Structure 1
């Protein structure tokens, strides 16, 4: 469990009010605070099937550590049949940030 001093330091930047933090979580959040402006993008391509037949989808996931100590996740896709879409989500709570950093270690 993180010490009171560590929690007080993190609380200056991130909402940790409802988070149980392990030592590893504290380390990740400290790295997060020190990597403002970091960016990672991953593009994947895969085939799928619809009622119109086979299509190829190219999907891009972009993660940005913002200056307000949030992570923005931008998702977009393009299908070879012309369909496309996108959405963006911002994460500010400690547990959400930790889960993203564990899933996308390249962001740090």
Structure 2
């Protein structure tokens, strides 16, 4: 892809995602363009949940835990990630992250493809 075409595609991506200070290869630019073009048909409103259970050791002995990751594709192009952690000692944590930048989306696509 020549420089002019790449710049046009970066401008297109920039209409939907934050691309400030993001360096991208030609393949990454193409991947994001495809993601944006397919967003309405394949992603918008879709929720993916995965749970991981395990056990570990602490100074109080062995404990078990559960982690739940929920990824929801928002109305605007982006991904909302909800994380929940619980353990059998009563520990609980929750967090929410919104991914609406080009690098974040690329990382999510790599990790979940």
Tell me if TM exceeds 0.5.
yes
* Number of equivalences: 105
| SS of match in other structure, 1:58 | strand
Q: Could you say which structure has the higher helix fraction? A: 2
Larger RCO (CA under 8 A, 6+ residues apart): 1
Larger radius of gyration: 2
Structure 1: runs of 5 or more not aligned: none
Aligned to 2:48: 40
- 8, 16, 24: which is aligned to 2:11? 8
Report the CA distance shift for 1:42/1:68 in structure 2 as closer, same or farther (over 3 A): same
TM-score normalised by structure 1 residue count: 0.82
What is the rounded CA distance, in whole Å, between the counterparts of 1:31 and 1:46 in structure 2?
Answer: 36
After the TM superposition, which parts of structure 1 deviate over 6 Å for at least 4 consecutive aligned residues?
Answer: none
Quick one: distance in 2 between partners of 1:30 and 1:89?
23
Report how far residue 27 of structure 1 moved. Answer: 3.2
Equivalent of residue 109 in structure 2, options 95, 101, 107: 101
1-10 or 68-77, larger mean C-alpha shift: 1-10
- Normalised to the residue count of structure 2, the TM-score between the two structures is 0.79
Residue 82 of structure 1, CA deviation: 2.2
Q: CA RMSD in A?
A: 1.8
Secondary structure in structure 2 of the residue aligned to 1:3: helix
Structure 2 unaligned blocks of 5 or more: none
Among 25, 29, 53, which residue is 2:28 paired with? 25
